[in-house]
Structure 1
């Protein structure tokens, strides 16, 4: 779909070219949300991560701290939105809010729902859980063991894929099995939203760590800027923990789409030109990949153009 980036062009043109291709030539489809999309299948983007480079969009403001807080939340294995809401991160609030409204008939505002999730532990336990989404699969993929004739019981601690990948990168860097997978077929139906950024694979070349993300479904206007940041951050964290240098991020999209009600955002962003060279510094190396804090990250050289917003399709 899209080929390797020309090093002479600003990295963000890849993203804008993909957006334009979808908007002008994508297949118009009816989707799960009922809103409708324009879609292409099988896109690819590539980004250089050396010297602190990150695929941070400049043609609109991307709230990289929010994206980082979400990623660090994934690494905890938590599946309840309470800790996110307490940090002012509302990325996942719409799904439990929609469930609560339908189940109770109470048309509570998003702000009030989020505030109650934070203030009321019992309310959060009942209404704030998303099911076994991303982080649960990343660090606690369920394992079942024989427990008598024809019976199985779930082990208290499942497979920590992230820890296993780090161990594998350190001990067997040439392996083709450096994979973190989010698509647990047996539990997809229990998730508030099945994983979109579902498969991560890592590859060591010399002393450089490259990462590939396969995304089965991609909202290019709202989701992809966060997904690119999160995937690049994943590479950066693993590289630091494994004494490697960040190499390249390869992003691959399955159903790669723009929602029809994002027309104002798309048309405004396509009129803008990328500029600047933002860099990420990781200020501390904790003992474990699971011990990073938001204060450990600093972005410099980021002067984005104005914020562009659009409704999230739930």
Structure 2
């Protein structure tokens, strides 16, 4: 939590105003951020200086692991974050590859579970990683990437947090997650939870122990219509201690995640937080 607040202050102090072509808004921007989360004792990196709706964050990542392509599928899991990008993005609405209402195209989990090579063969990146880690094997290629340059024109949004690399050292599992673009007031809280959760759930279904997650961000920014709230509300609040995440121990495999798991299989203990802040969302 302290590292997040320091990052927000760094953007305010050192950031440069950049005009974002997609949103038509200016944002204060810095390049290169490294964050680290120790989840070995079940601590989940949840923002406490505002209320974070952590269950939709987990639901979104669960949808990615299932390879979902429809905003409706995410809604059914309890996550509404894809409604606007699937149905209100003017460029996507005019895209000939869009397959109707709620279609997100070939982005995020679709690539993680069915990345297409030049011959059109689909590669299940996640399945390979789970199989390797479950037998205690790490070939230093335990990588799941949502970024497929050949299909960016077939997606409503290029992936922001785009690549996850798992590293097994003995029985301890590490995760390095790469993010090209980070909306600090609005999206970052989701992403931070997802990085921690992904490491914990992958350790559980592969029979390993979660260690540390490393969150690498290229472009961190605050939009101009968010700046006042960050400076005058969130940065003036004192953070609380981080909560612990309890995961249903019956979740033992990738097949469990694909079939019956819901957000009710996760419980956050000791989550104390300040009131929510309604930050502007940029489509």
> TM-score scaled by structure 1?
0.82
172 and 35 in structure 1: CA distance in 2 versus 1, 3 angstrom threshold: same
User: Deviation of residue 205 (structure 1)?
Assistant: 2.2
SS in 2 for 1:261: coil
Aligned match of 2:6 in 14, 17, 38?
17
1:103 is displaced (CA, Å) by 5.9
For residues 47-97 of structure 1, give each alpha carbon's deviation from its aligned partner in whole angstroms, at most 9, with x where no partner exists: 110111111111111111111111111122111111223455321111233
Q: String of CA shifts for 1:173-229, please: whole Å, max 9, x gaps.
A: 342111111110100121111000011111122321111111011111111110111
Matched residue SS, 2:222: strand
- Determine whether 1:308 maps to 2:273: no
Q: 2:35 aligns with which of 15, 38, 45?
A: 45
Q: Distance in 1 between matches of 2:73 and 2:138?
A: 37
SS at match of 2:63: helix
Give the deviation of 1:17 after TM superposition.
Answer: 0.2
Deviations for 1:12-51, whole angstroms, at most 9, x for unmatched residues?
Answer: 1000000110012111111121111111111111111011
Aligned 8 A contact 1:212 1:251 in 2? yes
Instruction: Work out the number of aligned pairs and report it.
Output: 274
SS in 2 for 1:218: strand
Partner in structure 1 of residue 115 of structure 2: 141
Matched with 1:3 is none
Aligned partners of 1:162 and 1:180 also within 8 Å: yes
Q: Do the aligned partners of residues 272 and 126 (structure 1) sit closer, same or farther apart at CA in structure 2, a change above 3 Å counting? A: same
Show structure 1 runs of 5+ residues with no match.
1-11, 105-123, 146-153
Distance 1:209 1:242 in 2: 10
Distance 2:224 2:153 in 1: 27
Counterparts of 1:251 and 1:182 in 2: how far apart (Å)?
16
Q: Secondary structure of 2:150's partner?
A: coil
Matches of residues 185-204 of structure 1 in structure 2 within 5 Å? 185-204=149-168
**Residue 224 (structure 1) aligns with:** 188
Aligned pairs for 1:56-71 (under 5 A) are: 56-71=46-61
Alignment correspondent of 1:130? 104
- Name 1:183's counterpart in structure 2: 147
Contact 1:240 1:285 in 2 (8 A): no
Q: Secondary structure at the match of 2:79?
A: coil
Whole-angstrom distance in 2 between the partners of 1:239 and 1:101 = 39
Aligned to 1:107: none
Q: Which moved more, 1:294-303 or 1:168-177?
A: 168-177
- What is the TM-score of this pair, normalised by structure 2? 0.91
Gaps of 5+ in 2: none
Aligned residue number for residue 288 of structure 1? 253
Aligned to 1:38, the other structure's residue is in SS state strand
Aligned to 2:179: 215
Give me the whole-angstrom Cα distance separating, in 2, the residues matched to 1:25 and 1:195. 26
